[in-house]
Structure 1
């Protein structure tokens, strides 16, 4: 018997099993077709809780891991959010359902083009997608209530820390790329403060001026 998940509800069950409790987030996963945000040859894996290769050394974030990071932001619906690392746009679409608006930045133009088309096909209109160096954030749209970084670096880059609104939150994998703690930070009166570790995970490296050099080897 083939038990591979084939429907959005299978993915929702996998997220519940992983400990996700935010019902708004689970509903966003239920109503956002991941099959519309993966390469055509990977559609059969869309509703499995697995990362998916999207080319250029990049992979999508595993859905349960993405959900843990989003849940860590504690979104209530009114937030202005920055996402660093758009990928093909599935996580972006989830954030767009849970916040007022999303600014997402992707370094690779070809991947950004696909993400833009995916989001448009799904009718997602409250996302501004930029192509550029995400390690420096998007300062002209700052400050942000929440920042989600989908790539690893040993510390939060100073420009990203500076773009979080007082009282806001930032979630980022902290480590060298390939072996990380996913950490939730809060912006307090004394600056960005490490709040808690959400999980352990493996991420690609954050590349750019305030991350690793762009010619560094990628981690799958």
Structure 2
């Protein structure tokens, strides 16, 4: 008899009983060691945050058995929850410390916002899909992250009423860095964003300097196209 992933997850939960969360803690620790540390992430705060946030509780119920695998996961509205390593890499590239004020574009499941909160950031997050924003808000509140500020709207505009920010991190790819987001950075702050068409994207860092913006390319990534209201955007496959 073949079982669905959710049936397997339910059976594991039933068999392990009170030890179920211990098992999830083990999987998170293994995720951090095998997927994140091994690829060179060294920021202590990022590693702690990734090991603390219960990623499986942000995943759709039928995909929770795969929450700590080295892949992005599909969520509602045709979007995805980014691969753990990409979440960690983008946070490290921000170059921020606890207490930093950070804007996230693309709330999605709320997972990355929770990681930023665990990092000690004052976190603001914009999501274009009202259903996703509402669902993420409920999950974040249930898991003890009520201080994260959420807004439904077009991410290209940022959140100017709360600007400026110590860092901006996006879960969407653009052909070029949106001027509105660059303008909401504090001096010395960074925008971390995938840039390029779907088939040839690079994760880039734009740092605000006295002379303008310093652009640095890091690694190749691939993000799916988003709605026109988000501009030339996409979220990671």
Give the structure-1-normalised TM-score: 0.90
Distance 1:121 1:179, change over 3 A: farther
Structure-1 separation of matches of 2:214 and 2:229: 23
Structure-1 separation of matches of 2:46 and 2:57: 18
RMSD: 2.0
Structure-1 separation of matches of 2:95 and 2:118: 13
Structure-2 separation of matches of 1:24 and 1:175: 29
Q: Given that residues 157 and 211 in structure 1 are in contact (C-alpha distance below 8 angstroms), is that contact kept between their aligned partners in structure 2?
A: no
Distance 1:111 1:174, change over 3 A: same
Aligned residues: 212
For 1:1-220, what aligned pairs fall within 5 Å after superposition?
7-13=27-33, 14-194=35-215, 196-205=216-225, 207=227, 211-212=231-232, 220=237
Deviation per residue, 1:98-150 (Å, 9 max, x gap): 24311100000111111111111110133100011001101100111100011
Distance 1:77 1:206, change over 3 A: farther
Measure how far apart 1:177 and its partner are. Answer: 2.8
Query: Structure 2: which 5+ residue stretches go unaligned?
Result: 1-22
Distance 1:202 1:190, change over 3 A: same
Query: Structure 1: which 5+ residue stretches go unaligned?
Result: none
Structure-1 separation of matches of 2:151 and 2:228: 15
Q: Given that residues 136 and 209 in structure 1 are in contact (C-alpha distance below 8 angstroms), is that contact kept between their aligned partners in structure 2?
A: no
Deviation per residue, 1:168-195 (Å, 9 max, x gap): 111000012343100111001122220x
Q: Given that residues 154 and 176 in structure 1 are in contact (C-alpha distance below 8 angstroms), is that contact kept between their aligned partners in structure 2?
A: yes
Structure-2 separation of matches of 1:56 and 1:209: 14
Higher alpha-carbon deviation: 56-65 or 200-209: 200-209
Structure-2 separation of matches of 1:8 and 1:107: 29
Higher alpha-carbon deviation: 80-89 or 118-127: 118-127
Which structure has the larger Rg over C-alpha atoms?
2
Measure how far apart 1:218 and its partner are. Answer: 8.4
